[in-house]
A and B are shown apart, each in its own frame.
Chain A
Amino acid sequence: MNLATKDIRHNLGRFSLTALGIGLLLMVVMGMGGIYRGLVQEATLIVDRIGADLWVVQKNTRGPFAELSRIPRDLADRALVVPGVETSYGFISYTIQRSYKGKPLRLTIQGLDWPADSGLWLPISAGRSLGQAHYELVADNSSALKVGDKLALGKDVFTIVGLTKNLTSPSGDSMAFMTLTDAQAVQFDFSPESIRIERTARVNRLFNIELGQIQPQLSEKAGGLNSGIPALGTSMISVVLVTVKSGWNPAAVAKQIEAWPDVSVYTEDGQKQLLLKGFVDRSRKQLGLFRVLLIIVSAVIMALILYTLTLDKLHDIAMLKLIGARNSVILGLIMQQALLLGSIGFCIAYLLGQWIFPFFPRRVVLINSDLYMLAVIVLVISILASLLGIYRAMRADPGEVLS
C-alpha cells in the first residue's frame, strides 16, 4: 500500500494544479536555458553557414557583425592573388527596420557577391536561391515574408524568391539575402532632394577653392553623377570572405593578408569568438544568471508547497507515529510526493515547451545534455525541498492526536 499515491489520488485536483504550476515554472527554466543555447547558436550560425576560412575586415574593427566594417569592393580582387587563396568574395551585412503590412519588419541584409556567389549554400526551405543580378530577395521564414511577396526597398521593388529556415542574425533579426550591388543600392539609397543638395554643395565647395576659380567648367562635373568624379570611390562593402585551398593552412594565409596595413583578418573560429565573447556576451551572462535565479526560485516555491502539503497532513502524520509507523514510512510519504511532483512537473514542462517554444520570438534550442542536467537539478531540488517538510514531520508529537 503506497501512502503517497493514495493521498495524491484523494487530493487529485489540488495535486494536478500544483504539478501544473511547477511544470509551468520549470518550463520557464527550460525555456530560459533554451534561449541561452539559441542565442549562442544564432550568434555563430551565419558564420557557420557562410563557412569562410578567413574574414578580412576594416583595420582594427571587429566586423562585420559585432561592429561596422567598411572596405573597398576591390579588396576581394587583391585577396584573390594571395597564394593559397581559393575563392574571395565580397560580402555586405547591415540591418534595416521597415514597415511591412503595418508591422515593423527587421531584416539583416546580406549582400552576396553575384554571380560568383548566388547563395547556393543557403538552407533554402521554399522557393530557390538568387537567379538574377537584381530585384530578388531570399528571406528567412522567421520574417513572416512568403515566396512571391513584393517588398519595396530603396528605389526598387524586390520579389521574395526563396525562404531560408531559421537564419537569424546574432541579434535575433531575420536574415535576407540579395546581390551585393542591390544591397549597396539599398544601403546608400538617398532621396533625389538630398542628392540635389549634395551636388549643389559640391559645386559651392569647388568655387571656394582655387581649382574651381581657374577651371570653372569643372562645376558641370561636380554637379553631375558620383561615378563621373574620380575623387569619389565606389560604395564600400563589409567584409571579404576568403576560402583557402586544401592543403594550405588558413592561419598562414591569414598572416600574409594581415600584413596589409589596411585590414584585419579573423579565422572562422576567431570570428565566432568575436560574437560570443563580445557581441552576445552580456545577454549570455544575463540569461545564465536568470537561469540560476529561476532554479533557486523554483526550489523555494517547491519547498513551500511541500511544506504546506506536509502541514496539511500533520495530524495524520502524528497519528501514523502514534500507531507506531517507522520514520521511513513518513519520510517515504513526503519524499515520494516530492519526487512525483518534480518529475511530473518536468514532463509537463517538456511537453508544454515542445508546444509553446516554437512561438517564442527568439529561438529556443533544447539540447539533450541540458535536459538531463535540468532533470538532475529538479531531482535534487525535489529532495532538498522535501527536507523542510520532513523536518517538520519528524518533530510532530504523536501526543497531539489526543489533545
Chain B
Amino acid sequence: MNQSHDNLALQAVGLTKIYGSGHTEVIAVRDVAVEVCKGEIVALLGPSGAGKTTLLTLLGLIRPPNTGQISIDGILVFNNHQAQVDIRRFRRQKFGFVFQKANLIPFLTAVENVRLAMEIDDQPVRTSRRRAMELLEYLGVAERAQNLPSMLSGGEQQRVAVARALANRPSLILADEPTAALDSVRGRQVMELFRKVAHEQNAGVIVVTHDHRALDVFDRTLEMEDGILRQQQKGN
C-alpha cells in the first residue's frame, strides 16, 4: 500500500467506541486504524458482535468515536468525539450508504428515493431527475422508477438503494451486509456492481459481509474480532 496521501478516501487512527458505562460497558471498537484509497473496494469480515457495524457507523460519521481521528478526503472530520466540520453535509456529499435492508422511504417512488439524496443537497430538480433515471438504468431498474418500494422485490429495492448511495458521486461507499437478503447470484451481482463503481467512479468502498464466496471481488479484506482489526491482507 504505497498510495500517496491525496489518494486516500478515508484515514482513521486510534478509533475506539465504548457503548454504555460502568457495569454494562462494551468496548465495541478498540484502537482501530484503517485506510481506504479511492477506487479501492475492501471487505470487512468478522464474527457476529465483532464490532463491524459499529466501526462502519464511526467511519460513516453516524456516531462519534470516543477517541481517535477520522479524515475524509484529507480533511480531519473527527478529533476524538469532537466533529470538526458539518458532519451532516459530509454525509450527504461524500458518503453513500447501503444496508442489509434497502431502507427506502416508503412513501416515495424508486426514482424519488434517488432524487431525494440529491435534493437534500440542494441540487436543481432537472439535474436530479436526469441523474436519478440514469442511475436506475445503470442498475437495471429503470422500468420500476415510478413504483413505490413496497411494489419492488428485495433485489430491486436493494439496487434502488445502491442508486441512491451513488447519487451524489460519493468519495466513500459504506455497505453493511448488503447482500444478506439476496440469493447468491443476486448477491454476487451487487458485489460486482460495487467493484465496478469503485473502479469506474474512483470511490472507496467498504463492504461488511459474511459471504466468503464473493471475496474474490475485493481488492483487500479486513478482519475484525472483539473490536480489534486483526489483520489486513491483500485479496487475490
Question: Which chain B residues border A6 with CB–CB below 8 Å?
Answer: 107-108, 112
Complex Cα gap A6–B115 (Å): 14
Q: Which residues of A contact B57 (CB under 8 A)?
A: 399, 402
| A-contacting 9-mer, from B31-39, B98-106, B191-199, B218-226 | B98-106
Taking a contact as CB atoms under 8 Å apart, the answer to whether A402 and B99 are in contact is yes
Contact A323:B91 (CB < 8 A) given known A1-B115, A10-B148? yes
Decide yes or no whether A324 CB sits under 8 A from chain B. Answer: yes
B92 at the interface (CB under 8 A from A): yes
Within B106-156, the residues touching A (CB, 8 Å) are 106-108, 112, 115-117, 119-121, 125, 148
Inside 8 A of B78's CB, which chain A residues have their CB?
A: none
Q: Measured between alpha carbons, how far is A398 from B89 in the docked complex, in Å?
A: 14
Give the contacting residue for A1; candidates B116, B121, B176; CB below 8 A. B116
Contact of A326 among B88, B90, B103, B112 (CB under 8 A): B88
Q: How far is the CA of A321 from the CA of B88 in the complex (A)?
A: 7
For B62, list chain A residues within 8 Å (CB). 322, 398-399, 402
Q: B158-202 interface mask toward A, CB cutoff 8 Å, 1 = contact, 0 = none?
A: 000000100000000000100000000000000000000000000
B56 at the interface (CB under 8 A from A): yes
Mark A297-325 against chain B: 1 for CB-CB distance below 8 A, else 0: 00000000000000000011001111111
B97 and A322 contact, CB distance less than 8 A? yes
In the bound complex, CA of A376 to CA of B121 (Å): 34
Q: Does A221 contact B (CB under 8 A)?
A: no
Total B residues in contact with A, Cβ cutoff 8 Å: 31
| Contacts A6-B112, A319-B103, A402-B53; A325 near B120 (Cβ below 8 A) | yes
Considering only CB atoms, which chain B residue lies closest to A329 in the complex?
B120
A324 touches B105 (CB 8 A): no
Question: A11 interface residue, CB < 8 Å from B?
Answer: yes
- Contact (Cβ within 8 A) B91 A320: no
Which residues in B have their C-beta under 8 angstroms from that of A45?
none
CA distance A399 to B59 in the complex (A): 12
Interface on chain A toward B: helix, strand, loop, or mixed SS? helix
A325 contacts across to B, CB distance below 8 A: 88, 92, 120
Which B residues lie within 8 Å of A195 (CB)? none
**What B residues does A9 contact at CB under 8 A?**
107
B93 within 8 A of partner (CB): yes
Contacting residues, chain B, for A398 (C-beta < 8 A): 62
Size class of the contact patch on chain A: 20 to 34
A323-B117 contact in complex given A6-B107, A401-B103, C-beta closer than 8 Å? yes
B63 on the A face (CB < 8 A): yes
Q: How far is the CB of A377 from chain B (nearest CB, A)?
A: 30
Residues of A within 8 A of B60 (CB): 322
Do B108 and A323 touch (CB < 8 A)? no
Q: Is A7 an interface residue (CB 8 A)?
A: yes
* Distance (whole angstroms) from the CB of A148 to the closest CB of chain B: 62
Bound-complex Cα distance A399 to B90 (A): 16
Give the nearest-CB partner of B108 in chain A. A6
Bound form: Cα–Cα A329–B122 in Å: 11
Q: Determine if A403 is an interface residue (Cβ-Cβ < 8 Å).
A: yes
Given contacts A1-B115, A6-B112, A10-B148, contact A324 B103 (CB under 8 A): no
Contact A1/B119 with A316-B106, A322-B97, A402-B99 known, Cβ cut-off 8 Å: yes
Minimum Cβ distance to chain B for residue A294 (Å): 33
Q: Quick check: A326 and B120 within 8 Å, CB to CB?
A: yes
* Chain A window 48-69, contacts with chain B (Cβ cutoff 8 Å), 1 for yes, 0 for no: 0000000000000000000000
A319 to B108, CA, bound (A): 13
Q: Report how far A321 CA is from B92 CA in the complex, Å.
A: 9
Closest to B112 in A: A1
CA distance A401 to B101 in the complex (A): 9
Interface residues of A (CB under 8 A from B): 1, 3, 6-7, 9-11, 315-316, 319-326, 329, 397-399, 401-403
Further pairs besides A11-B107, A322-B97: 15, Cβ < 8 Å: A1-B108, A1-B115, A1-B125, A3-B105, A6-B108, A10-B106, A315-B103, A322-B60, A322-B91, A324-B89, A324-B92, A324-B120, A324-B121, A329-B120, A402-B56
B interface list, Cβ under 8 A from A: 53, 56-57, 60, 62-63, 88-93, 95, 97, 99, 103, 105-108, 112, 115-117, 119-121, 125, 148, 164, 176
What 6 pairs across the A-B complex have the smallest Cβ distances?
Answer: A324-B92, A10-B107, A324-B91, A325-B120, A7-B107, A324-B88
